[in-house]
Amino acid sequence: MSDETVGSWVGLDAAGVTGGLQFQQVTPKAWDEDDVDVKIMYCGICASDYGVLKGEYAPLEPRVGGHEIVGEVVRVGPKVANLKVGDMVGVGWQCDACRECDLCKNKDDQYCAGITWTLGLKYGRGAAKGTMSHGGFAKMWRGASRYAVKLPASLDPGNAAPLLCAGVTVYSPMKTYGAGTTRKRVGVIGIGGLGHAAVLIAKAMGAQVTAISRGEAKKADALALGATTYISTGKDLKEDFKGHENSLDLIICTINPDVLPVADYLSLLAPKGLIVVVGIVLTPLAVPTIPLIIGGRGVVGSNIGSPEDIADLFALAAEKDIKLWVQRWNMDDINKAMVDFGDGKPNYRYVLVNTDNGGKM
C-alpha cells in the first residue's frame, strides 16, 4: 500500500469469477475527515460478491469485491471520535448513506435511498462523490468511520468476517422481531451460508429452531448447528408440512428460487407470525390475503443491518461463542477460492486471509 494506491484483486470482466481476478494498484476513495484507513487482514466471500463480479446486478466494469472486511485501523481522520489507530474493526455491505434523511437520523441508514454499497456503487456525497466504491479483496480499505464497527477483544477476527453480511442479514430481523423472546419458535428456510448463520444465531438468542431444507442432505449439519427440528422438503410442500402447521412464530427465508411459494410457507406460521424474506427472489410474490387477515400474519423484507446491529451481533457472538462454519484461504489464492465458491464447495463460508497484513490461517 502507498499513499496513492492500494493493491487489490480486480474483476475486469465476467472472467473474474472463473479465475480471472487481476492484482492491480487501485486508487482508494478520496479522503474525508471522518474516514479511517483499515489494513485488511480478513475478508469473506459472499454470493453477492460473485454476482457483482459476474455482472448479474449491473453492467460490468472494473470492480473490487469483498464486503465482509476485518482489519486494523491504521489512520483516522480528525473528525473520527469512535475509533483510534490499532482498533480491530469490521466493515459490511454498507459504506455510506446520505446522512441527512430521517432514516439516517434514526440509525436505519441501511434503508436510505442514498446508500452506497461497499463495492460497485458510486458515492453520492463527500470528497469521493461520483467515484466507485471498492471492497475488501485488497490490502487496505478506506471509508466512513460510522461503518467500521469495533470488534470485542474476545472475538476471533477471522471468524467475525462472515458476521458482517451473512450474520447481520439474518440477525437484524431476528433482533427486530423478537427471536427468542416474543417469538420463541424460529424457522429457517435454506441451510446455506445465511441459513446456517441463522440457525446458530437464533439458538444463541434463546429460540427453538426449525430448519427447513430440500432433501436430507443438510439434516445432520442443521442439527449440529442447533436446530431441534428438521423439515425435509421435496416437490409437494403441502404434504411436507403436514403436522407442522401453525408451529412457528418467525421464519427467516434465506433462499432465492425463481418462484417462492409463500402460500405454502404461511401454513407453518402461528397467528401473528412473520415470514422475513432476506434472499432476493426476482419473481413477484403471490401472497394469499386470507391467511394474513384471519391470523394476523405477515410477510416482510429486511436489508442487511445497521452498524448498531453489527455491534450487537459482535457482542452476542463474543458472549455466546458463536462460530460460523468457515474455511480460510490465503488471499493470494483468491482465484482458486472464487472458482470453488462458484462450484458450491463452501461449508459454509469462505474467508480470505491477508497473511502479510497479520491475518492468521
Predicted confidence (pLDDT) per residue in 71-115, tens digit: 999 999 999 999 999 999 999 999 999 999 999 999 999 999 999
C-alpha cell at 195: 441459513
Identify which of 160, 174, 163, 251 has the alpha carbon closest to the alpha carbon of residue 205: 174
Cis peptide before 348 (omega within 30 of 0): yes
Q: Which residues contact 337 (CB under 8 A, 6 or more apart)?
A: 45, 329, 350, 352
Q: Give the Cα separation of 314 and 6 in Å (integer).
A: 28
Q: What is the DSSP string of 97-160?
A: --S-SHHHHTT-GGG-TT-EESSSSB--SSTTTTSBP--SSBSEEEEEGGG-EEPPTTS-HHHH
pTM assigned to the model: 0.96
Strands 35-45, 69-76: pairing is: antiparallel
C-alpha cell at 207: 429460540
Q: CB-hemisphere CA count at 13 Å for 196?
A: 19
- Give yes or no for residue 271 having a pLDDT over 80: yes
pLDDT band at 37 (very low <50, low <70, confident <90, very high): very high
Q: Give the Cα separation of 128 and 356 in Å (integer).
A: 28
Please name the CATH architecture into which domain 6-165+306-357 falls. Answer: Alpha-Beta Complex (3.90)
Q: Tell me: the pLDDT tens digits for 254-269?
A: 999 999 999 999 999 9
Residues of the chain with CATH 3.90.180.10: 6-165+306-357
Q: Give the Cα separation of 3 and 121 in Å (integer).
A: 23
Q: What is the DSSP string of 64-109?
A: E----EEEEEEEE-TT--S--TT-EEEE-SEEE--S-SHHHHTT-G
**86, 72 Cβ separation under 8 angstroms:** yes
- Give yes or no for residue 1 having a pLDDT over 50: no
**193, 47 Cβ separation under 8 angstroms:** yes
What CATH superfamily is the domain 167-301?
Answer: NAD(P)-binding Rossmann-like Domain (3.40.50.720)
Q: Give the Cα separation of 139 and 74 in Å (integer).
A: 12
Would you tell me how many other CB atoms lie within 10 Å of the CB of residue 42? 30
Q: Tell me: the pLDDT tens digits for 296-352?
A: 999 999 999 999 999 999 999 999 999 999 999 999 999 999 999 999 999 999 999
Residue indicated by cell numbers 437520523: 105
**149, 308 Cβ separation under 8 angstroms:** no
Q: Tell me: the pLDDT tens digits for 241-256?
A: 999 999 999 999 999 9
- Give yes or no for residue 59 having a pLDDT over 80: no
- Give yes or no for residue 2 having a pLDDT over 60: no
Q: What is the pLDDT of residue 167?
A: 99
The alpha-carbon radius of gyration of the chain (Å, integer) is 20
Strands 116-117, 185-189: pairing is: unpaired
Residues in the chain: 361
DSSP class of residue 29 equals P
Residue indicated by cell numbers 452476542: 316
- How distant is the alpha carbon of residue 238 from its chain centre? 31
Residues of the chain with CATH 3.40.50.720: 167-301
